[in-house]
């Protein structure tokens, strides 16, 4: 059973890991919000696969969901940063 | 002049300044400065994180005194080889994401230190089983990941182990068991009724596997036949 503390820890781990950081960086590479979000979400899926040793049965759905949500949000923020902070 | 009149002040002015294009810096300068700033920030962050992994930091709280005393009586503290496993070696994962998760969750320890949840021997004993179960659950779910930072079935030479140890390790290997199934209490005293509590915990985790939170436990090997583990726990109980 996942506790609130587990959930917060999982979110924190993802924010400071690939979905949060690489997702933000990839989001900053485009001005198209859906693309930025998709790139971040893709990182979330990739990272969960890596941590599960590329074994689908070892993936925990909630960890995957948290990673994708954090990735999508980071990618979206990255795109907003690009829109706000760059003219190209 | 018109621009000066339209300038916002305070935090909004800072916000405008932050997003204004640089007029005097080259792209190379901004990139290099950002790169160096990133190294400094990340290095400092990582260094600080590692500081919280030291034994001195872990036992700096009053609540940890009992833990420390028990651990100092074990082979993980003093042994013939001179290799020591400190608190973080067993309680903090090495992998980055798992480590950050553990650090976030450790905030609860600071809270309990502040409110004095286990600040007396009586309180400590009344919480011992609960604390042990939390660690067993984590170890079981992660296939004793932190044990495997140093120990691994694949690295063991069963021919130079004691006969009983070799046989038990072979049995564990054959039945997809994990370190914590047998090695509870290797660094801290066991609570009363620990075997029954551990059996109940394993059965609960196995039952949960068929429920919503199931897949989380598959990596622990609970998905396989539980009977050998039940046999081992029963033998230890006799």
Q: What is the 3-state secondary structure (H, E, C) of chain A?
A: CCCHHHHHHHHHHHHCCHHHHHHHHHHCCCCCHHHHHHHHHHHHHHHHHHHCCCCHHHCCHHHHHHHHHHHHHHHHHHHHHHHHHCCC
Q: What is the pLDDT of residue B206?
A: 84
The mean pLDDT of B7-35, rounded to a whole number, is 90
Q: Are B100 and A51 a contacting pair at CB < 8 A? A: no
Length of chain A: 88
In a domain, A2, yes or no: no
Query: Percentage of chain A with pLDDT > 90?
Result: 74
The mean pLDDT of A56-68, rounded to a whole number, is 90
> Is A5 an 8 Å CB contact of chain B?
yes
Q: What is the pLDDT of residue A2?
A: 61
Residue B219: pLDDT over 80: no
Instruction: Rounding to the nearest 10 degrees, give the CA dihedral for residues B50, B53, B57, B62.
Output: 150
Task: Say how far apart CA B119 and CA B201 lie, in whole Å.
Answer: 27
Query: Percentage of chain B with pLDDT > 70?
Result: 91
Residues of A whose CB is below 8 A from B95: 51
Residue B155: pLDDT over 80: yes
In a domain, A73, yes or no: yes
Task: Say how far apart CA B194 and CA B185 lie, in whole Å.
Answer: 9
Residue B20 DSSP class: S
Query: Is residue B112 classed as helix, strand or coil in its secondary structure?
Result: helix
Task: Say how far apart CA B168 and CA B31 lie, in whole Å.
Answer: 57
Tens-place pLDDT, residues B102-132: 999 999 999 999 999 999 999 999 999 999 9
> Is A88 an 8 Å CB contact of chain B?
no
Kindly report the pTM of this predicted structure.
Answer: 0.81
Structure tokens at B183: 């090695």
**What are the Cα distances from residue B144, in Å, to B155, B168, B200, B209?**
15, 17, 18, 18
In a domain, A21, yes or no: no
Q: Are B104 and A87 a contacting pair at CB < 8 A? A: no
In a domain, A69, yes or no: yes
Residue partners of B135: CB distance under 8 A and separation at least 6: B91
Q: What is the pLDDT of residue A88?
A: 82
- The per-residue pLDDT of chain A, averaged, comes to 92
Residue partners of B50: CB distance under 8 A and separation at least 6: none
**In which domain, by residue range, is A75 found?**
34-48+61-81
Report phi then psi at A82, rounded to 5.
-65, -45
Q: Closest residue of A to B97, CA-based?
A: A13
Complex-level ipTM: 0.80
In a domain, A14, yes or no: no
Q: Give the residue carrying structure tokens 């999508």.
A: A72
In a domain, A76, yes or no: yes
In a domain, A1, yes or no: no
- Number of structural domains found in chain A: 1
> Is A85 an 8 Å CB contact of chain B?
yes
Structure tokens at A10: 């999982």
Rg (CA), chain B: 25
> Which of A17, A29, A32 shows the shortest CA–CA distance to A71?
A17
Q: Are A8 and B105 a contacting pair at CB < 8 A? A: yes
Give the residue with greater pLDDT, B219 vs A39. Answer: A39
Q: What is the pLDDT of residue B223?
A: 53
User: Which of A51-65, B116-130, B184-198 has the weakest average pLDDT?
Assistant: A51-65
Task: Say how far apart CA B195 and CA B198 lie, in whole Å.
Answer: 5
Residue B209: pLDDT over 80: no
Q: Are B108 and A12 a contacting pair at CB < 8 A? A: no
Q: Give the residue carrying structure tokens 């059996």.
A: B199
Structure tokens at B150: 């140093």
Tens-place pLDDT, residues B47-90: 999 999 999 999 999 989 999 999 999 999 999 999 999 999 99
Q: Are A47 and B97 a contacting pair at CB < 8 A? A: yes
């Amino acid at each position: 059973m996942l506790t609130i503390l587990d959930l917060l820890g999982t979110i924190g781990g993802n924010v400071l890991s690939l979905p949060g950081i690489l997702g933000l960086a990839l989001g900053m590479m485009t001005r198209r919000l859906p693309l930025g979000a998709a790139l971040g979400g893709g990182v979330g899926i990739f990272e969960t696969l890596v941590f599960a040793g590329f074994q689908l049965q070892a993936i925990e759905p909630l960890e995957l969901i948290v990673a994708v949500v954090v990735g999508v949000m980071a990618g979206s923020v990255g795109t907003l940063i690009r829109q706000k902070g760059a003219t190209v | 002049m018109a621009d000066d009149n339209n300038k916002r002040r305070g935090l909004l002015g800072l916000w405008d300044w932050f997003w204004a294009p640089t007029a005097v810096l080259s792209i190379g300068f901004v990139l290099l400065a950002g790169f160096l700033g990133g190294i400094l920030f990340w290095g400092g962050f990582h260094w600080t994180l590692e500081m919280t992994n030291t034994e001195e930091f872990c036992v700096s709280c009053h609540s940890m005194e009992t833990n420390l005393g028990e651990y100092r009586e074990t082979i993980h503290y003093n042994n013939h080889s001179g290799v020591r496993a400190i608190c973080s070696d067993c309680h903090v994962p090495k992998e980055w994401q798992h480590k950050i998760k553990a650090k976030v969750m450790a905030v609860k320890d600071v809270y309990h230190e502040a409110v004095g949840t286990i600040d007396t021997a009586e309180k400590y004993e009344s919480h011992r089983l609960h604390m042990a179960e939390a660690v067993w659950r984590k170890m079981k779910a992660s296939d004793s990941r932190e044990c495997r930072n140093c120990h691994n079935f694949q690295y063991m030479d069963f021919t130079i182990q004691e006969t009983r140890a070799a046989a038990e390790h072979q049995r564990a290997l054959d039945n997809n068991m994990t370190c914590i199934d047998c090695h509870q209490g290797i660094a801290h005293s066991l609570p009363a009724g620990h075997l029954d509590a551990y059996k109940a915990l394993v059965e609960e985790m196995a039952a949960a596997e068929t429920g919503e939170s199931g897949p989380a436990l598959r990596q622990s090997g609970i998905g396989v036949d539980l009977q050998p583990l039940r046999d081992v726990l029963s033998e230890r109980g006799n």
